[in-house]
Structure 1
């Protein structure tokens, strides 16, 4: 690096350090009215003046950097044209660079030049370095370029950390997928099952039927209890204050992981631009894999607002999962609240305000807020209608009831917001778990933290094609099995952490849910009794028990359909009521998904079968800007 490009901008330096706003006005970059407007905004938001000016579109980022250079008498450098040498990564640890968003740039004599985008905070870095801090000097660079330089210098180290962030005892990464004994054991189990069917067919069917029936009773009891709790025991909303309490708004970082997205980037920016939270306090980070050329090219063709940035995640041991990408990007975020959205999400415009307000008023043990999910393309076809009914049943009836019962809330993969301090304390997400959300929900509960459902809705794209639906559902079911296996390594410890009722709730939500999809064909066999055919269970357990099981199965079906009818009774979903009675023809696809999940659990437990977004046209455009009137839960709920 012969030419360090260390030059002051060609402007006259003032004799003393003037305020940044005055420098910008004197240089003709903003007007006095612009400055007054920005200063007025700064009284309400805790954000640097420069960030407010940029996000309000009053000054270009490059012009702001030049004025900062003048104000602090700090030289500007070009990190893109003249990147730091790889050997410099040994001069500062990656953790320190991320905490202060700096990167070592060059050595001049015995002085280390360090790039920063915020020279006003450089003394904090000096203080962290102790005596070594006297031998560093700042140079100025764009924060976007600093992030990219950190990734280039420390990417391999940070990628490995992202893949192994969660302690091994709470992760599934220790599973040796290359061990041939896994396949041998699976083949052995299949052979044993086949042998039992041949040697004792009636008793084999009976044992399987009893298991299917027990899990059916578990899931039905959970649905019934949750529905009753939701309908008849409404949550008590927080007490209303006479006047809204004023408090400094925090910086919120929202991660949006992307993978091979061709169509979604422009629509995503359009949707997120509707957010009304101050953009100077909002940081939306698009997270993509370093080798994802499709998404990179899509983003390159898209003009991004200044409050949106891109983080590229280096490869690590062939692992390509959403939680690994989230772990990597987390360290680059600046917010005290960390959120997650998916690529196709359309959140309500005031969602961030609701999140910030609730976190401010909630007890400190409320570590996570989960928004409600809905679909904007319900009318596309029969499959999307059924999927929307299923989602409405889960998000508007069962999950709020689960929360009111005090059971563990398995998180959804999007519209999640965390206190950053707690998320980092729990070591983020398990990079190898394909339902990292459900796993994190259980780890939060085991650590004594509370997850609340909050009255804000995000609209998504429902899978409206059969095979993509099967692939998505198989990933969910595989993840449920993985999560169950991880947390059941020590059942006694899990019960101590959660208590008996919540322990049983986890069994119903994770194990029994999977079992119901996998064992569905066995339960459907009860229908033959309606036409007078004797069931095989009658031969082993007696006709009375078989009849009782069949009646219980029919009652469970009635409860399932009734719960769904109640879930879609609101104005926004009422058009789906008639379609509820077609659900018995919808769920058979889940059985295929369960068998695919079982196969992958053995052969590819960490494989992320990606859901393709942008397949359906946004037919319900009105829902993106004004959600249905019944789109909100009745009140805040938590567990």
Structure 2
């Protein structure tokens, strides 16, 4: 059937006039209908013992044999293509040898071709040669073709060739779609386009602040102090509540794959990565999930010559491929993810960063969790940790902060029923859910936190699982400031996007989650911005005059002192608890030094404020590869 001709309305043609095609079919006719396994064994490319193992694996995973053979690198994809062509008695087309006809590009939409794995290659007479990389599902694809195409004949090609042609013909349009996939009302892309109303509001707010500062500095300072103390108190209350909401710490159960395990597509955005690409491939190769069900996509910017040159010298296994993103209005990670997502077909979509070293059984645990979870669980977040925590003081403090966030606060926040602001890596989604919420906001520099809120607004939950990804701690002063300023800028933009229509946010989330958004985002921003107001109370300890001296009673000063000391105590206790749940117990003596670490965030906050005004969509990239694992096997330890 696959070689027979068929009209797009389903009628078969019993006769045809394709002399060249008939000749090719006759040449392959001696092996037409012969199983691909037999063809490969007869040609001497695969031994019977290896083929028997591949057949068993294909049956276990419910995957086509040719897919398993290619993914496991038993033979090349080109050899599989030739064997399939002989089996089906069909044309085998390669883009570099027989380029598709340019006028065919508009016959089918790019989205249809990507979804079905087909491309309208050429016409032979009146017949459309439709190339496919999935011959086993070609019959179903025929039934979904639009009318008016005339008779259709199947040919075979590689999925890589289909993707390359779609990128060449439709890449610019797909890139524009990637920038605007999230609807305007849910995106921050209009942030740089101020209206008369917003300009008036900003002018009035600035005028009030300057007036108070000039004529009533004490009143201005008192107001700032009230905001700082309230945000500090609420933030510490959240930490305590999250700690007590934590489930009892138990060892993670062994993952069990479902009977029909899904394909998992992992997107790994890379940008100007010279040092990290080779080690990334090595670390991803440790994943134990069946390689025939794993589709890892390295996502590059088209003009990123640095990473392209690095990957050109790196041998990639067949289950890792590269997609280049055409240039556009912005150059951001979420835009690249949106574009690359269109070229994937996994039932589960995951994200890794360039420097990541995931636990070998991580994908198994993710698949197992999704199989057992409610359909309303749209996302799974893993734990992030560092493989270089002992590099210097900054990396030690960063490790304590990450342990507190991923091992105490985020699990507690999820148990409290708040929306979970996602991390940028080791995060996995059900494909239909990601499509429903329209992917990532291409203009938001903390696209992960924003996506976590949009998932919650659509009624989906994020759950955290006990699987760890190691990455490189950013342990140089100015790069740390730059990274943190991007995070805080994104937090501010995300809060603004979701709260600019508070009534709609309240309607979507409910009162409890609405309160959680203000608690996690607004309090964090106020705390970092107004921290210098709290620092002024060190003046009293040194016997220096304070702006509020004479206005506070002794009891009020004691109350403020109690709040400050309790906040520091809570931070220390949370740090101790977090490290006790991690492999970094040796860092416990460094927890009290965190009081000197968090002020760096205030420096980053003021950088973030200036960038929000001048260049809100600027992506201040974090450079990787400057700090190696503390020990040779540090990136293999996963607790």
Asked if TM exceeds 0.5, the reply is yes
Judge conservation of contact 1:183–1:603 (CA < 8 Å) in 2: no
CA deviation string 1:143-171 (max 9, x = no partner) = 11211111111111111111111111111
Alignment partner for residue 510 of structure 1, among 521, 524, 533? 521
The answer to whether residue 128 in structure 2 is matched with residue 117 in structure 1 is no
* C-alpha deviation, 1:511, in angstroms: 1.2
Gaps of at least 5 residues in structure 2 are 1-19
Written as runs of structure 1 = structure 2, the 5 A alignment for 1:114-193 is 114-132=130-148, 134-177=150-193, 193=209
Q: Paired residue for 2:74?
A: 58
Instruction: Tell me which moved more, 99-108 or 588-597.
Output: 99-108
Judge conservation of contact 2:126–2:150 (CA < 8 Å) in 1: no
* C-alpha deviation, 1:205, in angstroms: 0.7
Alpha-carbon distance change, 9 to 29 in structure 1, aligned in 2, over 3 angstroms: farther
SS of equivalent residue, structure 1 residue 160: helix
Alpha-carbon distance change, 511 to 571 in structure 1, aligned in 2, over 3 angstroms: closer
Judge conservation of contact 1:229–1:404 (CA < 8 Å) in 2: yes
Q: Paired residue for 2:215?
A: 199
Judge conservation of contact 1:8–1:69 (CA < 8 Å) in 2: no
Q: Following the alignment from structure 1 to structure 2, what is the Cα–Cα distance between the partners of residues 593 and 556?
A: 21
TM-score (norm 2): 0.92
Alignment partner for residue 123 of structure 2, among 81, 95, 107? 107
* C-alpha deviation, 1:245, in angstroms: 7.7
TM-score (norm 1): 0.92
Alignment partner for residue 303 of structure 1, among 285, 303, 315? 315
SS of equivalent residue, structure 2 residue 555: helix
Q: How many residues align?
A: 619
The answer to whether residue 501 in structure 2 is matched with residue 490 in structure 1 is yes
Q: Following the alignment from structure 1 to structure 2, what is the Cα–Cα distance between the partners of residues 81 and 184?
A: 62
The answer to whether residue 104 in structure 2 is matched with residue 93 in structure 1 is no
Q: Following the alignment from structure 1 to structure 2, what is the Cα–Cα distance between the partners of residues 106 and 540?
A: 84
CA deviation string 1:282-336 (max 9, x = no partner) = 000001111111111111111000000111111122x111111111111110110
Alignment partner for residue 349 of structure 2, among 313, 338, 344? 338
* C-alpha deviation, 1:56, in angstroms: 2.2
Judge conservation of contact 1:275–1:349 (CA < 8 Å) in 2: yes
Alpha-carbon distance change, 8 to 383 in structure 1, aligned in 2, over 3 angstroms: farther
The answer to whether residue 580 in structure 2 is matched with residue 566 in structure 1 is no
Q: Following the alignment from structure 2 to structure 1, what is the Cα–Cα distance between the partners of residues 581 and 135?
A: 54
Judge conservation of contact 1:46–1:248 (CA < 8 Å) in 2: yes
SS of equivalent residue, structure 2 residue 548: helix
Q: Paired residue for 2:293?
A: 281
Alignment partner for residue 243 of structure 2, among 204, 216, 227? 227
Instruction: Tell me which moved more, 42-51 or 212-221.
Output: 42-51
Judge conservation of contact 1:126–1:133 (CA < 8 Å) in 2: no
SS of equivalent residue, structure 1 residue 92: coil
Judge conservation of contact 1:535–1:546 (CA < 8 Å) in 2: no
Q: Following the alignment from structure 1 to structure 2, what is the Cα–Cα distance between the partners of residues 510 and 179?
A: 24
Q: Following the alignment from structure 1 to structure 2, what is the Cα–Cα distance between the partners of residues 109 and 457?
A: 57
Q: Following the alignment from structure 2 to structure 1, what is the Cα–Cα distance between the partners of residues 199 and 327?
A: 27
Q: Following the alignment from structure 2 to structure 1, what is the Cα–Cα distance between the partners of residues 351 and 576?
A: 30
SS of equivalent residue, structure 2 residue 384: strand
Q: Following the alignment from structure 1 to structure 2, what is the Cα–Cα distance between the partners of residues 132 and 370?
A: 46
Instruction: Tell me which moved more, 247-256 or 496-505.
Output: 496-505
Judge conservation of contact 1:13–1:70 (CA < 8 Å) in 2: yes
Alpha-carbon distance change, 620 to 492 in structure 1, aligned in 2, over 3 angstroms: farther
Q: Paired residue for 2:17?
A: none
Q: Following the alignment from structure 1 to structure 2, what is the Cα–Cα distance between the partners of residues 382 and 244?
A: 40
Q: Following the alignment from structure 2 to structure 1, what is the Cα–Cα distance between the partners of residues 306 and 618?
A: 20
The answer to whether residue 43 in structure 2 is matched with residue 27 in structure 1 is yes
* C-alpha deviation, 1:599, in angstroms: 0.8
Q: Following the alignment from structure 2 to structure 1, what is the Cα–Cα distance between the partners of residues 542 and 272?
A: 51
CA deviation string 1:45-99 (max 9, x = no partner) = 1222112112222212111111111111221222135533544321111111111
Judge conservation of contact 1:177–1:602 (CA < 8 Å) in 2: no
The answer to whether residue 501 in structure 2 is matched with residue 477 in structure 1 is no
Q: Paired residue for 2:535?
A: 524
Q: Following the alignment from structure 2 to structure 1, what is the Cα–Cα distance between the partners of residues 257 and 349?
A: 23
Judge conservation of contact 2:180–2:442 (CA < 8 Å) in 1: yes
Judge conservation of contact 1:538–1:544 (CA < 8 Å) in 2: no
Gaps of at least 5 residues in structure 1 are 632-639
Q: Following the alignment from structure 2 to structure 1, what is the Cα–Cα distance between the partners of residues 525 and 162?
A: 45
Alignment partner for residue 462 of structure 1, among 473, 487, 495? 473
Q: Paired residue for 2:389?
A: 378
* C-alpha deviation, 1:540, in angstroms: 4.2
